[in-house]
Amino acid sequence: MTFQLSYLFLILTLVIVASIIARGKIARYLTVLFSALVFMFVVLNNMTLTNFDYGSLSILTLSFQLNFVSSVLLILISFIGVFVSLRYSSSPGFFVLLQFLLFSLIGIFTTRDFILFYIFWEMVLIPSFFAIGIWGGSNKNYAAMKFFIYTHVGSVFMLLAIFTMYFTEGASNFSMATLISGINAIPMAYQSFIIFGFLFAFLIKLPTIPLHSWLPDAYVEAPSEGTVFISALLSKMGAFGLLVIFSPIFMASSFAGSTAVPIALMALGVFSLIYSALVALYQKDLKRMMSYASIGHMSFITIAVGGFLYLNGSNPLASQLLYYGAVFQLISHGIIIAMVFALVDTLEKATGTRQIPSLGGLARKLPVLSFFILTAFLASVAIPGFSGFVGEISILLGSYAVLKYYLIFVLIGVVLTASYHVFALQRTIFGPYNEFLGDIKAKKEDLLVAILPLAIIFLLGIYPALLFHTFNIYLMPFLGGIH
């Protein structure tokens, strides 16, 4: 049975309206329903790969599509929606904003029209900005404005790139397929600006160093539930853009045979991995440390996209390892980082602090919480058996076809990443107990919710083929598209 995306958007809109009418009192429960509907939609549509169009309006083509990447990200959206709803009992207004955010993300990941893509891209800013600005920490106004300015500036360049394609090609609509297919016919100067505009916007949202400085402030100042959805979902916008939009644009352009842009992407990815790890080593705030860890994890996406574009189909096996490894990294990172920040919040509520020097020996007083923190950190380090290992090892193996012996720099970043995770564990849950913390306890309900992401992390780590088997029908035509 197949449900069109038009029906899904209509139903989700009704859920949001119901939350607003009820003044948010049942928004938390409706968020679970919202997420369940998204999950059911993806599963039921797994039997076919179809373009879902509900017509056109002037130059705006209301066209949506599910593919392998968008299907995986919709599954991640449904998980985060359920996880946040079960883990937190925030202000009702927060869950209304969360539903609006999830709705916007679904639009980003499924639309096949550039103007709609831009509209949904900007819509995501609204709930994120207010979540930080209303429920954030002491420096929330600064963090919210910095987040807004950074991402909006990137959006402006992307919009200019879209208009450049439209007017220089003389197109009749903003269909992605139409505009991308015609990019090779326009002057090189315009092609250069288009590539820069999209790349700049996506690297800010990913983020890649040096376009990253909004992220630590936003993650730290946001309320814990806000940090969970921002870290797990918003960075996926940049990754999705690189994988599904920028890569086809670059490969259809006159620069397809050039290696300058792919090499620059890989260099930025390696630099981000090493730099973020070095900065994380010196952090005293556990939440800020894991913010830089998130940057390090997403740098693998930049490396994978750069390697994929460099190969340009010359090595099918390495290309598949890079592309599929990047997609696996998306869902793995989203689940792991959501679990990590939720556990940091549980730790802060139990001890009254998240400052690493003020902690110590927590395994003596909080053995269950310490176990979950240990497993979450091991997953973040990408130890075999955890989902993080699958994505990173796939990207590393695929990257060797391009980087050869330069891969040593990526491995240095991996070692540094493991170092600050182990260092933090040593000073928080191991060693002598800090008696100044007094008698501490963690809420059982917070610990029980952590079982859900941990189970998925183990399942995907032990049986990663499950992800690809689930979306096998999408992969058949998709495989032909990346060779």
The mean pLDDT of 50-61, rounded to a whole number, is: 50
- Residue 223 pLDDT > 50, yes or no? yes
Buried b (16+ CB within 10 A) or exposed e, 468-482: eebbeebbeebeeeb
| CA gap 444, 451 in Å, rounded | 11
| CA gap 142, 36 in Å, rounded | 35
The pairing of strands 60-65 and 51-57 is antiparallel
- Residue 52 pLDDT > 70, yes or no? no
- Residue 23 pLDDT > 80, yes or no? no
Lowest mean pLDDT among 1-10, 291-300, 334-343, 380-389: 1-10
- In single-letter form, the type of residue at position 396 comes to L
Buried b (16+ CB within 10 A) or exposed e, 81-120: bbbbbbbbebbebbbbbbbbbbbbbbbbbbbbbbbbbbeb
Residue 268: what pLDDT?
A: 95
- Residue 79 pLDDT > 60, yes or no? yes
Residue 478: what pLDDT?
A: 47
Residue 196: what pLDDT?
A: 94
The mean pLDDT of 199-206, rounded to a whole number, is: 93
Instruction: Give the pLDDT band of residue 55 (cuts 50, 70, 90).
Output: very low
Instruction: Give the pLDDT band of residue 53 (cuts 50, 70, 90).
Output: very low
Task: Kindly report the backbone phi and psi dihedral angles of residue 60, in degrees, each rounded to the nearest multiple of 5, phi listed first.
Answer: -100, 115
CA distances 63 to 114, 183, 231, 238, 410, Å, are: 10, 20, 28, 21, 39
> Dihedral, CA atoms, 11, 12, 17, 22, nearest 10 degrees?
100
Q: Is 238 exposed, middle or buried (0-12, 13-18, 19+ CB in 10 A)?
A: buried
pLDDT, tens digit, 9 for 90 and up, residues 427-454: 899 888 888 877 788 888 888 888 999 9
Percent of the chain residues past pLDDT 90, beyond the cut: 48
- 3-state class (DSSP) for residue 223: coil
> Whose CA is closest to 273, among 312, 243, 306, 224?
306
- 3-state class (DSSP) for residue 51: strand
- Residue 284 pLDDT > 60, yes or no? yes
- In single-letter form, the type of residue at position 103 comes to F
- The residues near 217 (Cβ < 8 Å, ≥ 6 apart) are 139, 142, 143, 146, 147
The mean pLDDT of 246-251, rounded to a whole number, is: 93
